[in-house]
Amino acid sequence: MKPNTNPGPATLWMSFRRVFSMFFFLGRKTGKSRVFLLLGLIPVATAVMARIFMTGRAEDVVAVFNEILIVFYVTFDIVILSLFYGTSIVAEETEGRTLSYLTTRPLAKTGIFLGKYAAYVTLMFLMVSASLFFSFFIMNGHRFRDPALYLTFLRYAGALGLGIIAYTALFAFLGTFLKRAILVGLLFGFGWENVVQYFPGSTQRLSLVHYMKSLMPRRAAGGPLSILLFRLEPSTPAVAVLMLIVIAAVFLALACWLFRTKEYLYEE
Amino acid sequence: MTAVIETKSLSKWYGNVLGLSDVSLEIESGITGLLGPNGAGKSTFMKLVTGQMKPNIGRVTVAGQDVWNNFRLFSRIGFCPEQDAFYEDVTGWEFLTGLLRLAGYSGAEAAKRAARALEIVELTQDKDRKIRSYSRGMRQRVKFAQAVAHDPDIIILDEPLSGLDPLGKRRLIRLVKDFQSEGKTIIVSSHVLPEIEAMTSRIVMIHQGKILAQGDIHSIRDLIESYPHMISLKCGDARAVAARFVHDASILKMSFGPDGRSLVVETYKRDAFFSRLQAVVLEDGIEVEELTSPDDNLQAVFDYLVVK
């Protein structure tokens, strides 16, 4: 037998990097990404409309952003994105029967899972932050010279980024062992998460959205739309960041363990 | 010669369904054909050998190492899955270079190897088309290309000829034989005996998850020869063809279709029939529209072996 000249097995980090590159590329080419990119145009279009129809009412324009658009991002956009991308990390490979192309390469299974997770999280963050960037600066166009504006934007983007990391980890975990993970994810993302945030006391800490909202810049209560945020009893930013990171780490660890040990059979 | 792939008392079941039962095999370098009807356990065996499944009982080793969760082995293994599944939104070129990058090759090396692999499966001209636009045969060939592009020592091919036209089958068979001459270990599965026979004389017969027979193709062939073969023929004048065979002692039975153009022949000597038919067709100028072997008589042999 002639000597083998191929590069040999990868370390966990190498596996991660290789899979990340492949799925960051593949992820951009799917129809799903095009649909979600269009979804990101909704707040941008809303921002443009608000600017046109609310000319001269700067305070109201800012209120629209704070109380409608950011609620759209927090309670809908990132939940739906994370749900579809997170559950698809394993499900699209088993449903599409392509998993064997990955698991018969010299790649650590943990690296495969984390690489694909990171690729999709990066893709989602780019889509959401681009949409947020345009809608935020269209709405706040009158304050371009205010340095605080940029810090506020970074805070929004950071909170949404952490939300994507945590939600995607949770949904990816569901996708590793449930066949209909998307249904369970829908119930969690749009049922539990929506309902529990209006509960008083510590119950709302059982939702991810609570920690994301705790990181958002807040305005004084009031105004017709403040009902959407009315019962928030925020955690401190440090606790919110820590909780989102811990939740992501726990679900990722569980998902990696499952992916490493579970056999995936294709449905006939 | 030492075994490259070894299984000991290998068993696998899916819930209550038996996939593989007590399979002990030693596979050396060269081509080994895995022959069995659909659902016999061929794919299960291949998934166990490529570490995609964990045995319930027994052990499978490749190059002396356990294969389950041992990704270090996979740079030496090339696997062509049975299922017609791809990342559909990419081109053939992107598919191959992407998988080569996963195997650890640099961009330049991946490009070089992908170009070579596409060349050997004759897909160079179509490399920039999306896989979703490929024909079944092209998809089969690109699937084969990804299994060999990284130059593995061990190549596992699950029904690689399915969906290929006769010319494509011949080319792929030639390629597999070329790999054998490079000293590689190849396992190829099929449910069609002549396909396996064209590649190797070393076969393993598998049925209902069990190894029924293994060894030289000739012993299996002898076994098959003891059962009649069914050959179906469609031409302009089926009765004229039948008339030429009526005195042939190896013909057991002939029957005609209602359209008068189809003829079903049962014979003990399939190869002799084909040789004679070729001569008859040429002498009489008969245009044969279709020639098939609906029953290559494998099932009869399997039934015989099961009873035995």
**pLDDT of res. B100:** 97
Q: Which residue has the higher pLDDT, B161 or B221?
A: B161
> For residue B72, which residues of chain A lie inside 8 Å, CB to CB?
8-9, 106
**Is A104 close to B50, i.e. CB distance below 8 A?**
yes
Asked if A258 and A177 touch (Cβ cutoff 8 Å), the reply is yes
Q: How far apart are CA A176 and CA A260, in angstroms?
A: 10
pLDDT, average across residues B152-165: 92
Of the CA atoms within 13 Å of residue A95, those in its CB half-sphere come to 12
C-alpha pair distances (Å), B199 with each of A223, B155, B177, B187, B222: 79, 14, 7, 10, 18
pLDDT of residue B258 exceeding 60:
yes
Asked which of A26-30, B129-133, B228-232, B292-296 is least confident by mean pLDDT, the reply is B292-296
The whole-model pTM stands at 0.84
The string of pLDDT tens digits covering residues B79-115 is 999 999 999 999 999 999 999 999 999 999 999 999 9
> For residue A92, which residues of chain B lie inside 8 Å, CB to CB?
none
**pLDDT of res. A235:** 86
**pLDDT of res. B221:** 65
DSSP state of A40: T
> For residue B89, which residues of chain A lie inside 8 Å, CB to CB?
26, 29-31
Q: How far apart are CA B90 and CA A29, in angstroms?
A: 8
pLDDT mean across residues, chain B: 89
Asked if B42 and A95 touch (Cβ cutoff 8 Å), the reply is no
**Is A103 close to B53, i.e. CB distance below 8 A?**
no
**Is B90 close to A26, i.e. CB distance below 8 A?**
yes
In terms of Cβ atoms closer than 10 Å to its own Cβ (0-12, 13-18, 19+), residue A106 is: buried
> For residue A5, which residues of chain B lie inside 8 Å, CB to CB?
151
Contact status of A97 with chain B (Cβ, < 8 Å)? yes
Contact status of A94 with chain B (Cβ, < 8 Å)? no
**Is B75 close to A21, i.e. CB distance below 8 A?**
no
**Is A102 close to B102, i.e. CB distance below 8 A?**
yes
**Is A25 close to B51, i.e. CB distance below 8 A?**
no
Strands B251-256 and B5-14 come out as unpaired
The string of pLDDT tens digits covering residues B30-72 is 999 999 888 889 999 999 999 999 999 999 999 999 999 899 9
**Cβ within 8 Å of B, A 6-65:** 6-10, 14-15, 18-19, 21-22, 25-26, 29-31
Work out the angle at residue B270's Cα, subtended by the Cα atoms of residues B266 and B272, and round it to the nearest 5 degrees. Answer: 120
> For residue B103, which residues of chain A lie inside 8 Å, CB to CB?
6-7, 105-106
Nearest to A8 among B85, B104, B146 (CB): B104
Asked if B60 and B66 touch (Cβ cutoff 8 Å), the reply is yes
**Cβ within 8 Å of B, A 207-246:** none
Report the interhelical angle of A147-177 vs A78-95 (nearest 10°). Answer: 30
Query: B143 falls in which pLDDT band (50, 70, 90)?
Result: very high
Residue of B nearest to A18 (CA): B102
ipTM metric: 0.86
Contact status of A107 with chain B (Cβ, < 8 Å)? yes
Query: CB pairs below 8 Å between A and B: how many?
Result: 105
Task: Determine the distance in angstroms separating the CA of A40 from the nearest CA of chain B, rounded to an integer.
Answer: 22
> For residue A12, which residues of chain B lie inside 8 Å, CB to CB?
none
pLDDT of residue B165 exceeding 60:
yes
**pLDDT of res. A231:** 64
Please give chain A's pLDDT, 268 residues, in tens.
344 456 766 799 999 999 999 999 999 988 899 999 999 999 999 888 888 887 777 777 777 777 778 889 998 999 999 999 999 999 999 999 999 999 999 999 999 999 999 999 999 999 999 999 999 998 887 788 888 889 999 999 999 999 999 999 999 999 998 988 999 999 999 999 988 887 777 888 899 999 998 998 765 555 555 555 556 778 899 999 999 999 999 999 999 999 999 998 876 5
**pLDDT of res. B224:** 66
Nearest to A97 among B71, B85, B103 (CB): B85
**pLDDT of res. A129:** 96
**pLDDT of res. A6:** 66
Q: Which residue has the higher pLDDT, A16 or B217?
A: A16
